[in-house]
């Protein structure tokens, strides 16, 4: 199984708030966010890890070049500035077309034991996708997810409905079938990940919601402290 990391954003909010390191290199309890993800992926059976970074961060490029020599599984690095996460996904998609894969952004923070169970469940499943979800809402613009009683996903929504118990956690486990939907979305000029996810449902893909107790994003300087406390078991 392959794992992919979208890390092509500029991290402008962090830099405006005084964080000097590029976002992928921001440390949580002494470990760079991108290193943390790569290590977790390897421990959870990655055959290959693919990362996209923007071409405006030589520090991140140098850091990953060193990691490429040290990691025990292949680490592919795509260097390209993209206008959105969905465009970044598209740039990674050629590496992900022949096997199940897991995709997330560099600043998605979760507990590894929950993630490991999520990956194992997806490996055993015959669904087209498993989406990490949580009822912990700490997002400026959450994507709400409606499900049936068996946690099959029935829709993605910008506002909560009576069927929305969870929001998206931003960790996507998908099969190569999803790449066809991605390509069609790109051809039509669709440019937001949430609209791609809506199209997965419209195309009839079978997606399952997998609940996590908590998933955080590191968008602001204050989020670093929250993420460190969460990972240290203090939240």
pLDDT in tens, 108-127: 999 999 999 999 999 999 99
- Answering whether pTM is above 0.85, one says yes
Instruction: For the chain, report the end-to-end CA distance as a whole number of angstroms.
Output: 31
Report the distance separating Cα 194 and Cα 85, nearest Å: 10
Burial 54-64 (b: 16+ CB within 10 A, else e): beebeebeebb
Collapsed DSSP state (helix, strand, coil) of residue 27: strand
Based on C-alpha coordinates, what's the Rg of the chain? 17
Token reading at 49 = 């890890």
Average confidence (pLDDT) over 195-209: 97
Backbone angles phi, psi at 19, to 5 degrees: -85, 120
pLDDT in tens, 40-82: 999 999 999 999 999 888 999 999 999 999 999 999 999 999 9
Report the distance separating Cα 12 and Cα 23, nearest Å: 9
């Amino acid at each position: 199984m392959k794992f992919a990391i979208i890390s092509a954003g500029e991290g402008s909010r962090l830099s405006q708030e005084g964080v000097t390191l590029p976002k992928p290199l921001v440390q949580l309890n002494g470990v760079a966010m991108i290193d943390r993800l790569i290590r977790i992926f390897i421990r959870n059976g990655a055959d290959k890890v693919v990362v996209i970074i923007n071409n405006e961060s030589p520090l991140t490029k140098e850091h990953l070049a060193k990691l490429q020599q040290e990691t025990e599984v292949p680490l592919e690095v795509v260097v390209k500035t993209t206008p959105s996460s969905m465009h970044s996904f598209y740039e990674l998609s050629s590496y992900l077309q022949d096997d199940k894969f897991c995709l997330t952004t560099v600043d998605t923070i979760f507990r590894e034991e929950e993630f490991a169970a999520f990956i194992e469940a997806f490996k055993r499943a015959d669904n087209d996708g498993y989406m990490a979800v949580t009822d912990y809402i700490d997002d400026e613009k959450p994507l709400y997810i409606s499900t049936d009683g068996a946690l099959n996903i029935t829709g993605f929504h910008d506002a909560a409905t009576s069927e929305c118990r969870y929001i998206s956690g931003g960790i996507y486990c998908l099969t190569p079938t999803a790449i066809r939907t991605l390509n069609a979305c790109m051809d039509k000029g669709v440019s937001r990940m949430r609209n791609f996810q809506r199209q997965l449902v419209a195309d009839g893909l079978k997606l399952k919601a997998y609940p996590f107790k908590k998933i955080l994003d590191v968008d602001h300087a204050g989020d670093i402290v929250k993420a460190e406390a969460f990972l240290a078991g203090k939240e």
